[in-house]
């Protein structure tokens, strides 16, 4: 491809499709399986998703280390890193909300978007609620600035 913008979009689409396929293949889009993994106290814990976690670490840890040696991403202008690095109240509260939602629904954003392609009503409702929550957060946060 001669147009670098089109090449970047095509690569992002291919990477997203591969990631979604991996989530589907691993069982991360099955809320029952995710709930079984997150529920360690019930006596019916399903540890199989530990392999997914291990695979994610095998990719992420070297990637984070590689970032220290690169001035910029291979296909981007700059790294998109958080400006705040300390653990504060909004981070802890947001993490608690995220974890509670994940535990109750059995979905987090990536697997929910992947499962959206199945067209199941519970998934569509979850994604709609997730997008609404993101929109409301941005509206409330913009007013606080």
Give how far Cα 121 sits from Cα of 75, 105, 117, 125, 127, Å: 36, 13, 11, 6, 10
pLDDT reported for residue 121: 93
| Contact between residue 107 and residue 115 where contact means Cβ atoms under 8 Å apart | yes
Closest C-alpha to 90, from 123, 27, 137, 39: 137
| Contact between residue 17 and residue 104 where contact means Cβ atoms under 8 Å apart | no
What does the pLDDT look like over 69-126, one tens digit per residue? 998 887 778 888 888 889 999 899 999 999 998 888 889 899 999 999 889 899 999 9
Query: pTM higher than 0.85, yes or no?
Result: no
User: Could you state, in order of their start, the residue ranges of all structural domains in the chain?
Assistant: 4-144
**Residue 49: CA atoms inside 13 Å, Cβ hemisphere, count?**
19
- Take residue 38 and report the two structure tokens written for it: 């997150």
What does the pLDDT look like over 16-73, one tens digit per residue? 999 999 999 999 999 999 988 988 888 888 899 999 999 999 999 998 899 889 988 8
E-only strand ranges, 6-88: none
């Amino acid at each position: 491809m001669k147009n670098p913008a089109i090449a970047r979009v095509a690569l992002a689409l291919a990477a997203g499709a591969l990631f979604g396929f991996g989530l589907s293949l691993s069982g991360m889009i099955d809320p029952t399986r995710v709930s079984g993994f997150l529920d360690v106290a019930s006596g019916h814990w399903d540890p199989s998703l530990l392999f997914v976690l291990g695979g994610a670490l095998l990719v992420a840890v070297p990637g984070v280390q590689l970032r220290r040696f690169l001035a910029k991403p291979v296909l981007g202008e700059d790294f998109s890193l958080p400006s705040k690095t300390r653990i504060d109240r909004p981070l802890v509260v947001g993490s608690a909300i995220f974890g509670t939602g994940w535990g109750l629904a059995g979905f987090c954003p990536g697997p929910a978007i992947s499962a959206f392609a199945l067209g199941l009503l519970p998934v569509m409702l979850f994604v709609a609620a997730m997008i609404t929550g993101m929109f409301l957060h941005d509206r409330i946060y913009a007013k606080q600035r």
